[in-house]
Chains A and B, each alone.
Chain A
Amino acid sequence: MNSDGQERFIKRVRQALGKTSPTGPGPADPFPGGSPDEPAHVIETAGNRDAKQKQRLVECLMESARRHDITAHIHAGMQSAAREMAAIVLEQEPEWGAEKSVVAWRHPLVEGLKLPEALAPHRVPVHFCDHDVSSPVEKQVFVTKAATACVGITSADFCLADSGTLVLKTRPGQALSVSIAPSVHMAVFAAEQIVADLKELYALLTCEPGHAAEGLTRSMTFVCGPSKTADIEATLIHGAHGPREVHIFIIRS
């Protein structure tokens, strides 16, 4: 059985390459011999940052955020972060329909903000994403909520200091649409989740035991700033299909 065409296809590729027999994939490490790029070395460097270096990483992130039109907020605790978030939610004009609503991940950091309580007096509902078994109907209901929400709130697995990029894996309670469908995206994460750059990120994803065991998950997303387009006379406009604003909340404990 070869209805997916693989065998025939790979045979043609092998012929084109002038190979007579199947070959294994290339070496796992393209530059063997303990280069400083080695993932273990990268992780070690990342793990041994002192307070000063960590501070520099936060400063680097703040600078990157400015370059990429990301609004960055630093808070010492969850309460003050929650207050500022609620204020931003209240400022927004609902884009789809008259009623203002929020969708949010089921995630300890997001739930810790206690936003439903803060927004209840203003009649702004917060819909958490909690489906254990999703029927197509349930999915439809949630996606509609996300697509009409004014604000989507997520956490992040990592945030890259050199570009302000959020890295989001998919887990129970962490729906994809929360970071793309609403008009505004806010992400809350701890300062410890900041990593230097892509090199450090990929090293952690492949070699840190927890992440290596979990894999990238079926959908992993990077978000760097608001949705944008320059398709009309190369004029830059925010809010093409995704959020027009992105806020990051860095919690320093």
Chain B
Amino acid sequence: MSAISTEDYRKTAQEAIEDHVLKNALANLQQRFGRGAAEAYLNLPEGPGLRLKARDVRMEAIGNLDAVLVEFAENVRKNGGHVFFARDAGEAVSYCLEVARRRNIKSVVKGKSMLTEEVNLNPSLQEAGIEVTETDLGEYIVQLAGERPSHILAPAIHKTRGDIGKLFAEKIGIPYTDDPTALTIAARKALREKFLSADMGISGCNLACAETGHITTLSNEGNIRMCATMPRVHLAFMGMERIAQRLRDHDMLLRLLTRGASAQEMPTYVSYVGGPAYPWQADGPEEFHVVIVDNGRTKILADEDFREMLCCLRCSACLNMCPVYAQIGGHAYGHTYCGPVGAVVTPLMKGINRAKDLCTGETLCGACRDACPVNIDIPRMLLGLRAKLAQGDPRWGVRRADRKEKVFYSLWSRLVGNRPLYDAFLRAAAAGQRLLPRQAGMITRLPGSMHGWTKSRNIRPVAGQSFNRQWRRTEAKRKG
């Protein structure tokens, strides 16, 4: 499910651009959630400036992560829960499989978790003969269709009601309908049976709390509550950075997270889970596990230029404002995280060279930073990644993206640093450009390997006279 296809960015993006149904859906989504979030920030009692304070609180927790994680783990264990620290995807998945084997788990219900997509959990569970059901409606649709989520919060945004109607008719055997209410009720019925019969519930973690030793899960549908209540084992995957030191930090962080994610004041459900059910409890799981996952995060933590990215709460606010995401949707990004967040996180996790199109594909317009509930400076980090691609960086194993480019720019810098030489170049270019094809006064194709410049836009010709020359002439006339 999470095969990485960042190399196909250009091709998939091109296909998406031609998909008008997708573009309409994305425009609708951005109109509602993107604008809604911006308004919701303005309506905060503290105003949008609260985002800056929240960023400080996040950075503080990240800066103390060693102590904060230990405090969290101790508190969970005090309440009878288990904590496992996984260095990478493999360790995280193995731990989950081990728990499943020990408890004789045959079926799993899952709440939406991007981290389980990141570590590619589902195929491993299925290979072990375990039935896995995604229970968030969007994720369920995507799973039935055998696809990947195309948005962090609205995974099935790329599908129309007609698509979903056909899918449900085929896969869960209901008569075809394209009525969203009827489709939702059909999914509710099908998934209710799964919740009640499942042996294990797997969830993510939106924001843990070290002081109390609880994970926090947010949902509007209530599926995560069902996953954490009905089955006999609850296992939560948590990115190591998704934690607050104090309960009171949750005040601003939850309010900002839900406004950023969906322009809501409060999600329908917030659950603080800190251990298995009490012995006297009439429901709830017998076992509770938290798997804290690194999987490349310590590498990001170690680089001060990118540490800020660990403040991210994966709310998807940046997707809902990004002009690039609006055109190409989520699949083009080729990995779990899409949009501006994916354009930074995926290169850092999967290799900067490998995912170079993601960070060069963004516009640096800054909409993502303004949309971010914790004011992460994504454009700064996109530039940082581009600098690494231009200059290479052994620490991140980055090769220079293109040697020809490097040679070209070193020659160019010599040229522009030498006035007479530059003037000569301009005169030559002004004369030479007459041979190039033009349309409405613009050059439509540059020669040789420079034609990339004019692939998707035309370029203005060099002026007949340079500014300096014009200036000298005008001055001479005035005096003269």
List A residues at the B interface (Cβ < 8 Å): 4-6, 8-10, 12-19, 22-26, 28, 30, 37, 39, 64, 67-68, 96, 129-134, 136, 138-139, 142-144, 146-147, 160, 162-165, 170, 172, 175-177, 180-181, 197-199, 202-203, 205-206, 215-235, 237, 239-243
| Binary contact readout B34-63 vs A (1 if CB under 8 angstroms, 0 otherwise) | 000000000000000000000001001101
**In whole angstroms, what is the CA distance A219 to B217 when docked?**
11
A14 CB → nearest B CB, Å: 5
- Across-interface contacts of A147 in B (CB, < 8 A): 192, 195-196, 230
Identify whether the interface residues of A are mostly helix, strand, loop, or mixed: loop
A29 CB → nearest B CB, Å: 9
> Given B65, B83, B225, B281, which contacts A13 in the complex, CB threshold below 8 Å?
B65
| Binary contact readout B60-74 vs A (1 if CB under 8 angstroms, 0 otherwise) | 110111111111010
Beta-carbon contact of A222 and B270 below 8 Å: yes
> Given A14, A39, A172, A217, which contacts B280 in the complex, CB threshold below 8 Å?
A172
Q: List 27 A-B contacts (CB under 8 A).
A: A9-B86, A16-B302, A17-B302, A23-B64, A25-B245, A26-B68, A67-B265, A130-B282, A131-B282, A134-B282, A143-B282, A143-B283, A147-B196, A175-B282, A175-B283, A177-B282, A202-B251, A203-B248, A218-B79, A218-B284, A222-B270, A222-B271, A223-B269, A227-B221, A232-B161, A240-B220, A241-B226
> Given A18, A24, A132, A235, which contacts B180 in the complex, CB threshold below 8 Å?
A235
Flag whether B457 is at the interface (Cβ < 8 A): no
- Across-interface contacts of B125 in A (CB, < 8 A): none
**In whole angstroms, what is the CA distance A155 to B424 when docked?**
84
**In whole angstroms, what is the CA distance A163 to B269 when docked?**
12
Flag whether B104 is at the interface (Cβ < 8 A): no
- Across-interface contacts of A226 in B (CB, < 8 A): 268
Mark the stretch among B136-144, B327-335, B439-447 that contacts chain A: B136-144
B53 CB → nearest A CB, Å: 9
**In whole angstroms, what is the CA distance A233 to B437 when docked?**
46
**In whole angstroms, what is the CA distance A22 to B284 when docked?**
36
> Given A13, A67, A172, A233, which contacts B298 in the complex, CB threshold below 8 Å?
A13
Other than the known A175-B282, A218-B79, A233-B180, what 20 A-B pairs have Cβ atoms closer than 8 Å? A5-B86, A9-B69, A17-B66, A26-B61, A26-B64, A134-B282, A138-B282, A144-B196, A170-B278, A172-B278, A176-B225, A202-B250, A219-B228, A219-B277, A224-B269, A234-B25, A234-B29, A240-B188, A242-B222, A242-B226
- Across-interface contacts of B229 in A (CB, < 8 A): 143, 176-177, 180
Interface residues of B in 136-160 (CB under 8 A from A): 136-138, 141, 154-157, 160
A105 CB → nearest B CB, Å: 10
**In whole angstroms, what is the CA distance A199 to B187 when docked?**
37
Beta-carbon contact of B301 and A6 below 8 Å: no
- Across-interface contacts of A17 in B (CB, < 8 A): 63, 65-66, 301-302
Flag whether B379 is at the interface (Cβ < 8 A): no
B106 CB → nearest A CB, Å: 15
**In whole angstroms, what is the CA distance A154 to B229 when docked?**
16
Flag whether B22 is at the interface (Cβ < 8 A): no
Beta-carbon contact of B180 and A237 below 8 Å: yes
**In whole angstroms, what is the CA distance A136 to B285 when docked?**
10
- Across-interface contacts of A30 in B (CB, < 8 A): 57, 60, 246, 249
- Across-interface contacts of B60 in A (CB, < 8 A): 26, 30
* Chain A residue with Cβ nearest B214: A216
Beta-carbon contact of A9 and B87 below 8 Å: yes
A179 CB → nearest B CB, Å: 8
* Chain B residue with Cβ nearest A199: B251
Beta-carbon contact of B298 and A16 below 8 Å: yes
Flag whether B414 is at the interface (Cβ < 8 A): no
- Across-interface contacts of B66 in A (CB, < 8 A): 10, 13-14, 17, 19, 22-23
- Across-interface contacts of B474 in A (CB, < 8 A): none
Flag whether B480 is at the interface (Cβ < 8 A): no
**In whole angstroms, what is the CA distance A206 to B91 when docked?**
35
* Chain A residue with Cβ nearest B60: A26
Flag whether B240 is at the interface (Cβ < 8 A): yes
- Across-interface contacts of B85 in A (CB, < 8 A): 4-6, 8-10
Flag whether B176 is at the interface (Cβ < 8 A): no
Beta-carbon contact of A6 and B83 below 8 Å: yes
**In whole angstroms, what is the CA distance A13 to B293 when docked?**
12
- Across-interface contacts of A216 in B (CB, < 8 A): 212, 214, 247, 272, 274
B277 CB → nearest A CB, Å: 7
